[in-house]
Structure 1
Amino acid sequence: MKDAYERRALLLQLGDVLKMLDYIKAHVRDAQTVGDLVRNYEALAGIALLDSVAQTMTVSELEYRALRAFCRWPQLLLDEPLDHGALAAPVRALLFEDNPYGWETWTASLARDVPWLGTASAVPA
């Protein structure tokens, strides 16, 4: 049963990422960096991924990298068994490659529900 809760937590995270990307495309016109998004768009407050990635990353880079990092999650979340490395590795490589503190922060925000996420990225994307 624990596996179902982990899948649910990851699905909710994926939903947050998709809502974030949708909001950015629909409403953000003047933000150049992730830091601009965090400072100027209250609707994006509290999104763990957005708070954890490098604040100097450009908005267009965030969009591109997030789409690539999470695009396989829907299928992976349906697979048996759950492939921890395949879920974690692309997110770490694409969004946190030069930001280990951000990776630790993001995975810590999910650690209660998905305790293995922070250590599962040993498998290449």
Structure 2
Amino acid sequence: MKDAYGRRALLLQLGDVLKMLDYIKAHSHDAQTVGDLIRHHEALAGIALLDSVAQTMTVSELEYRALHAFCRWPQLLLDEPLDHGALATPVREGLFDDNPYGWESWTESLANVVPWLATAAAVPV
């Protein structure tokens, strides 16, 4: 299977997203926005995706958008060949549509193992 290290990195990223969403569901009763969430819950500090999305996004919007953006990843990561656009585009559109700097920040955090991620998403016109 080609791209084994990239697939592994993306699978780990998916695991981090799922752990983040699980933690948010269990502990975010007092947080309205992503910024509030990060300030009130040290356990979420340093999660690249959470640090990169708009800090003004509501927690419920983050949950919905993240689930939608990553729901196809398990199957896509098993497909051969790896469809870079199908992996990247829903994340860019769902979580970073109005936040190109956030997209750059998140993809940069994965650039060592998934160098194609930043350019794989269809750029909105």
Q: Give TM class, smaller chain.
A: over 0.9
Counterpart of 1:17? 17
Deviation at 1:2, TM superposition (A): 6.2
Deviation at 1:38, TM superposition (A): 1.1
- The aligned amino acid for 2:121 is S
Q: Residues of 1 paired with 2:123 and 2:116: CA distance?
A: 13
Counterpart of 1:96? 96
Determine helix, strand or coil for the equivalent of 2:12.
helix
Q: Residues of 1 paired with 2:114 and 2:16: CA distance?
A: 16
Q: Residues of 1 paired with 2:96 and 2:122: CA distance?
A: 14
Please tell me whether residue 68 in structure 1 is matched to residue 73 in structure 2.
no
TM-score (norm 1): 0.96
Show structure 1 runs of 4+ deviating over 4 A.
none
Quote the RMSD (CA, aligned, Å): 1.4
Q: Residues of 2 paired with 1:93 and 1:111: CA distance?
A: 19
Given that 2:2 and 2:81 are in contact with CA atoms closer than 8 Å, whether structure 1 keeps it comes out as no
Structure 1 gaps, min length 5: none
Q: Residues of 2 paired with 1:121 and 1:95: CA distance?
A: 12
Q: Deviations over 1:29-70 (max 9, x none)?
A: 110000001111001011100000000000000000000000
Deviation at 1:123, TM superposition (A): 7.8
Given that 1:103 and 1:118 are in contact with CA atoms closer than 8 Å, whether structure 2 keeps it comes out as yes
Given that 1:85 and 1:123 are in contact with CA atoms closer than 8 Å, whether structure 2 keeps it comes out as no
- The aligned amino acid for 1:104 is E
Q: % of aligned pairs identical? A: 86
- The aligned amino acid for 2:89 is A
Counterpart of 1:119? 119
Given that 1:86 and 1:123 are in contact with CA atoms closer than 8 Å, whether structure 2 keeps it comes out as no
Deviation at 1:27, TM superposition (A): 1.3
Q: Residues of 1 paired with 2:79 and 2:2: CA distance?
A: 15
